[in-house]
Structure 1
Amino acid sequence: MLRVALVLLLVAGCAAPGRSAPVRLAYTVTGEGPVVVLLHGHPQTAASWRAVAPALAERHRVVVVDQRGQGDSPAPDGDYDVSSRADDVAALLRELGVTRASVVGTDLGGQVAFALTRDNPGLVERLAVLEAVIPGTAAAAGPLSAPHIARHADVDRMVERTRGREAQHVRDFVCAARNPCPYPPDLIAESAAALRRPGHLRGAFAPYEELTAPSDDPGRVTVPVLAVGGSRGIGGLPAASLREVADDVTEVVLPGATHWLAEEEPAALVAALGPFLAGSR
């Protein structure tokens, strides 16, 4: 795959009030057909989709993104709120000439995918949210009260605590649900290397600050939604959360799967995504 960096020309006033201006994002594009955008979560990079993207690219033009402050994308000093991160992706799609796309987001990337859909009517035609809940919904209360949410939201402390221990942080986080850990070791190394780049520890933890603040009305989306959970992850909670903010929600729970669907259960995930993205589910 060819990795390219998109440089956005920014002008004063281009950001919406209360949001950071869009930043240039690193991304890959493979395949031909209807556009599908893949958005990773914490503590991942675009590489987390490596077992999923090629299968989707057999029928789609797949855009895999490193979000701001993660992977090969820069770590700006600005905000890391979900709307600003969604604006980054919207700006990327405009520069690519994309006017319609399906979006798949996992973990924190699922919340970005929802915000992108909500804030850009007509841009997103199908939304898939994996192992994520939408802040401001009743179903999100349990997952967002998990101890690691508040711990990660103490950004300065987490940056200091994790610096020099990046690989240990990633390993502890992705291996918590299973022993032995099935998460690919080279992806752990990839994520740890990304965290060592200047500003990237802050970029990894800053999105959690918003999750501990009082939630605004999350808004609604009108497109078809696929909500996927792992039976050993958060199960049916993605669907429960999304049913509060969307009318057309299809629920899938992958048996035996933990939080890390793309890395540990790629074949099952592709089997769920394929019919949905094709419009047959």
Structure 2
Amino acid sequence: MPSTVSAQDFAFAGFAVREIAVNGATIHTRSGGSGPAVVLLHGYGETGDMWAPLAVDLARDHTVVVPDLRGLGLSSKPAGGFDKKNQAVDVDALLTALSVKEVDIVAHDIGNMVAFQFAAQHPERVRRLVLIDAPVPGVGPWEEILKNPLLWHFRFGGPDMERLVAGRERIYLDRFWNEFSASPERFSESARRHYAALYALPGAMHSGFAQFAAFDQDAIDNRAFLARGRLKMPILAVGGEKSFGPTMAAVMRAAGDDVTEGIVPDSGHWIMEENPRATIRLVRDFLAR
């Protein structure tokens, strides 16, 4: 049965927490459990904390590793290195530091983009890949997706934008939590306060904008990979029913040979807040195949 832990308790019961220096950054990492390794990669507007209920559930029979991406959460805020090809190097070095060889990867939002590059660079290390509710730069209908007016924030950044949101991080982030939700009330007030405080840390909003500013380079890197080959490992491409839906599978069929479509019912983009039980069930069933 899925864990009964709320997504917004942020309680990683039994997990160790450490700061691991890799590739010019220090990555805040939670790890726990035993068995086959699973890495959980978060996206923008959240941190690795989003994965608490899935991590606790999987730790019953997996070794679970949950980092904060560089520049976000409690990881360090380096000046650069936010292209996803480089962040895949972060993940590689992190797993090496933890003596993890082969992994399943579960990712959401910008985590998808890092996971894609890791799988492209290290296909021999990835058993299965789960990508949830966000496009991958340069892959499939990327150019059409960019035309969606809801995604104006992909081009929002720079010093003036940082000044505009300084001290107003909660106002900025509420826009994402509300507009990308099927049911905004499921993204709780306590979770909003939690993440807004993390994104108000020095350098955090700069790092967030840098994640988006790297998309053009990410598209170049991903297209270069696809010119040479495709992903061969089993892929679960999951969309929120009221967000990306089946488009997620369409994206990944442009890059992978073994793609299964998954839908989180009654959910927008924030799958762990809006329907954690269904998300856990989809992931568990796929990893058990």
TM-score (norm 2): 0.87
Counterparts of residues 146-165 of structure 1 (less than 5 Å): 146-147=148-149, 149-156=151-158, 157-165=160-168
Alignment match, 1:13: none
CA contact (8 A) 2:243 2:269 kept: yes
Q: Which AA in structure 2 matches 1:167? A: R
Q: Is the 8 A contact 2:83 2:217 kept in 1?
A: no
**Within-5 A mapping of 1:122-141:** 122-141=124-143
Distance 1:25 1:105 in 2: 17
Superposed displacement of residue 27, structure 1: 0.7
Asked if structure 2 preserves the Cα contact closer than 8 Å seen for 1:48 and 1:187, the reply is: no
Does the 8 Å CA contact 2:265/2:275 hold for their aligned counterparts? no
Q: How many angstroms does 1:150 deviate by?
A: 4.1
What is aligned with 1:18? Answer: none
Matches within 5 A, 1:27-66: 27-66=29-68
Spell out, residue by residue over 1:177-200, the C-alpha distance to the aligned partner (whole angstroms, 9 max, x if none): 345521122221221111111211
Pair 1:188 & 2:174 matched: no
Q: Which 10-residue stretch deviates more, 238-247 or 162-171?
A: 162-171
CA distance in 2, matches of 1:115, 1:180: 31
**Offset at 1:213?**
6.1
Aligned length in residues:
267
| 3-state SS, counterpart of residue 7 of structure 1 | strand
Aligned to 1:199: 203
Q: Does the 8 A contact of 1:254 with 1:268 survive in 2?
A: yes
Give the TM-score, by structure 1 length: 0.89
| Distance change >3 Å, CA 143–CA 185, structure 1 → 2 | farther
Q: 1:180 to 1:199 in 2, by over 3 A?
A: closer
Aligned to 2:265: 255
Distance 1:68 1:140 in 2: 24
Q: Does 1:5 align with 2:19?
A: yes
| C-alpha distance in structure 2 between counterparts of 1:112 and 1:174, whole Å | 22
Q: Which amino acid aligns with 2:161?
A: M
Which protein has the bigger helix share?
2
Instruction: Find 2:94's aligned residue among 92, 95, 98.
Output: 92
Residue of structure 2 aligned with 1:243, choices 242, 248, 253: 253
- Tell me if the contact between 2:239 and 2:264 (Cα under 8 Å) persists in the aligned partners: yes
1:38 Cα deviation from its structure 2 partner: 0.5
Equivalent position SS for 2:65: strand
CA RMSD of aligned residues (A): 1.8
Shift of residue 76, structure 1, vs aligned partner: 0.2
Q: Gapped runs of 5+ residues in structure 1?
A: 9-20
Partners of 1:36 and 1:186 lie apart in 2 by 27
Fraction of identical pairs, as percent: 33
